[in-house]
Structure 1
Amino acid sequence: MPNQLAVIEQAQKTLIDLAIKFGPKVIVALLILVIGFYAGRWVGTVLNRGLGRFQLEPPVQLLLVRLARLMVLGLFLIIALQNLGIELLPLIAGLGVVGAGIALAMQSVLGNLVAGLMIIFTQPFRIGEYVAVVGVEGQVEEVDLFSTKLSQGDCSVVIVPNRKIIGEILQNYGYIRQLDLRVAIARAEDLERAITAITEVVNANSRVLTQPAAFIGVRNLTDASIGVAVKPWVKAPDYGSVGAEINRAIIDKIRAAGVDYPPSERKIRVVSVQEPH
């Protein structure tokens, strides 16, 4: 029993000595971290206001603000660790080993992160533009550090990992797209009336853009018909619906103008059959 009391008294004495020796340093270190937290928020707020003048993309601006906050907080963290008397070189070496192991285990995640930074800073596309890449297409809704969100015409959203975008062939339509419609005319004497009727239909649609100008002209010639190309420009979200509207209006217009469609082709193959003797 006396030995146990002696051990407890020794432990209490040790704790008191440690509290006296390191207590003030711990309190000061915590105060430094609290100050660093609020200092980082203040720097981020000021930087966010300043970057607003340059009209950067929201992901780029958000990334720069977060990096500024982390840098300020990291600086105060180093000051707090030095106040506690911790040697930073061994700590940095240990973090390097741990970081290498994490990097090997999270190659795909880091690949998306690096690709996201490349997309944000090189800006191959912007929010609101219509793009086609890796077999999918849609309007760019959001670009973050790990993925890009594309909205579809059926109100669905496709999330593409950023590492799938970098290094692939990307087609950026911008904010407008050109329709590629076709009309077949049966007789050459109906061509001018057909082009006039189609032009009236295109000009009457309020969602067709006046600039760039629409192209309407002969596309190809065959033995049975004359192909007319109808290629007006529309805003990217209107691509599907305006195409359907124009097709429907063209049918009514050229029918009213007395323009004939080419007859459908039917191929008949005659096979001779020999009667058995």
Structure 2
Amino acid sequence: MDEASQFVIATRAALTQLSALAVQYSFSVVGAIILLCLGWLASGMISRWAREGLGRIHGIDATLAQFFSNVIRYAILVLVIVMVLGQFGVQTASVLAALGAIGLAVGLALQGTLQNIAAGIMLLVLRPFRVGETIETNNVSGTVVDVGLFATELKTADGVYRLAPNQTLWNVPITNYSRHDSRRNEITVTTDSKIGIEKAQELLLAIAAADQRVLQSPAPTTYVAEFGDSSAKVTLRYWARSREWGPVRRDLAKAVKLQFDRQRTEADAAKVAD
């Protein structure tokens, strides 16, 4: 048998083997494509169902529901890809081990970021503050604009934008000035011989009663905070809506100052007339 005949025989054998491999793997390729399409559709539907179901649970924030639904979707996609690789004879155990090693390396590299995510999840679940509420911690204060998984956006009292990593807002005392509907405030004035204690209490209660923003339940009260030989400090204690607390505090302080100055001027005028 000459070399040409051997070449023809070898070529035919190779083509036969390639045809067998093509037939064998064509079914695997078609199955892999079908599996990928079904996995993609299933992950989208299950993710949407999870997001809608979590959204119906009281206390679950929309951001948190979106995060968990995305985690479920990507987990399904990873599982589908591993199954597709198994169709081509790839050892799935080795793939899962490699994915675990990659996840561990990424977790160690992004340790700070993952801590912010964990803190963001806890903030969204426990809800120590919500969008629109005014808060204060040891490191930051302002009105909450948005609560994300990585950081929280705030607007300070002077209109400055501030971005606080969630880790700095977790495991620290948080003062929420807007959570309750009403807040208490106190105004203290000093009396003297021109304005006695009873007169001061009468004036303070009249000023509080004249402002409709001052709540009548609990009713405003006055008491003597301190006293000396010739003077005393009288305190007005009242409650106002949390959203109006600042303006009421400023307006009442101004009204008290003007009223007491007027009373002292009238007392001086009466003394001169006598």
- Deviation, 1:82, is 1.3
Q: Classify 1:128/1:194 alpha carbon distance in 2 versus 1 (closer, same or farther; 3 Å).
A: same
Q: Does 1:166 align with 2:167?
A: no
TM-score (norm 2): 0.73
Residue 261 of structure 2 aligns to which amino acid in structure 1? R
AA of the residue aligned to 1:236 = S
Q: CA separation in 1, counterparts of 2:218 and 2:92?
A: 62
> Counterpart amino acid of 1:214?
P
Percent of matched pairs sharing the same residue: 22
For residue 124 of structure 1, give the secondary structure of its aligned residue in structure 2.
coil
Could you tell me how far 1:202 is from its partner in structure 2?
1.7
User: Where does 1:23-172 land on structure 2 (aligned, <5 Å)?
Assistant: 23-44=29-50, 46-47=52-53, 50-51=56-57, 54=58, 56=59, 59=61, 61-72=62-73, 74-75=75-76, 77-85=78-86, 86-172=90-176
Q: From the CA coordinates, give the structure whose radius of gyration is larger.
A: 2
**Match of residue 208 from structure 2:** 202
- For residue 250 of structure 1, the aligned residue among 248, 256, 262 is 256
Q: CA deviation at 1:116?
A: 1.6
- Counterpart-to-counterpart distance in 2, 1:260 and 1:109: 66
Query: Matches of residues 221-232 of structure 1 in structure 2 within 5 Å?
Result: 221-223=227-229, 225-232=231-238
Secondary structure of the structure 2 residue equivalent to 1:131: strand
Q: Give me the whole-angstrom Cα distance separating, in 2, the residues matched to 1:186 and 1:84.
A: 90
Quick check: 2:144–2:152 contact (8 Å CA) kept in 1?
yes
Which structure carries more relative contact order (alpha carbon 8 Å, separation 6+)?
A: 1
The answer to whether the 8 Å contact 2:136/2:175 transfers is yes
Shift of residue 37, structure 1, vs aligned partner: 4.1
Residues 92, 112 of structure 1: CA spacing in aligned structure 2 closer, same or farther, 3 A cutoff?
Answer: same
- For the residues of structure 2 that align with 1:213 and 1:148, how far apart are their CA atoms? 38
Distance 1:105 1:21 in 2: 41
Distance 1:211 1:89, change over 3 A: farther
Residues 43 and 76, structure 2, Cα contact 8 Å, conserved in 1 = no
Report the more deviating stretch, 163-172 or 107-116.
163-172
Give the superposition deviation at 1:110: 1.2
Deviation at 1:77, TM superposition (A): 4.3
Structure 2 counterpart SS, 1:231: strand
State the distance in 1 between where 2:121 and 2:239 align. Answer: 33
Residue type of the partner of 2:257?
Answer: I
State the alpha-carbon separation in 1 of the partners of residues 184 and 175 from structure 2: 14
Amino acid paired to 1:62: T
What are the ranges of 5 or more consecutive residues in structure 2 without an aligned counterpart? 1-10, 268-274
Q: For residues 257 and 189 of structure 1, do their structure 2 counterparts lie closer, same or farther at Cα, with a shift above 3 Å needed?
A: closer
Structure 1 letter corresponding to 2:184? Q
Q: TM-score, normalized by length of structure 1?
A: 0.72
- Residue 211 of structure 1 aligns to a residue in which SS? coil
User: Post-superposition shift, 1:101?
Assistant: 1.9
